[in-house]
Amino acid sequence: MSCGRGFAAVLLVAAAAFAQAGCSPRVPPEDYYARGVELGRAEQWDEAAAQFTLAIRLDAGNARAHLGRGIALVHLARYDEAVADLTRAMELDPLLKEAAYRYRIPAAMFAGDIDLAFADYGALVALRNLMAQHPPY
């Protein structure tokens, strides 16, 4: 076996180990997030949720990935999980509140948390009123 073949074998073993662990070497979380967005636009919700999950595994503070997974989970009728992800997205980045509320309201209703749904609706109305008072720059 030549040096080139030995090195190639080591690379194949390493790639297989990464694949078995559910991640790829050197793939930034933004790439998984972008793929999740593409899959969501194609309404492939299971696959989108999986890509957002990979992004979150690599960067637990990725608010947009939590938002994306939350939206995908709403479409998959996994409402309790969706509420948790949408809540986390808002905690990580308050600028995502409007988008998160739009999906957390129905998720909370279907999960049976009517109080949260009504509280979110009130917060969304207040947020929109506040935004209406301040024109965009």
Q: Which tens digits make up the pLDDT trace of 53-109?
A: 999 999 999 999 999 999 999 999 999 999 999 999 999 999 999 999 999 999 999
Asked if residues 79 and 108 have their Cβ atoms less than 8 Å apart, the reply is yes
Asked if residues 107 and 89 have their Cβ atoms less than 8 Å apart, the reply is no
Question: Can you give the residue ranges of every domain in the chain?
Answer: 27-133
- Could you tell me the CATH superfamily of domain 27-133? Tetratricopeptide repeat domain (1.25.40.10)
Asked if residues 127 and 101 have their Cβ atoms less than 8 Å apart, the reply is yes
Specify the pLDDT at position 58: 96
Amino acid residing at 100? A
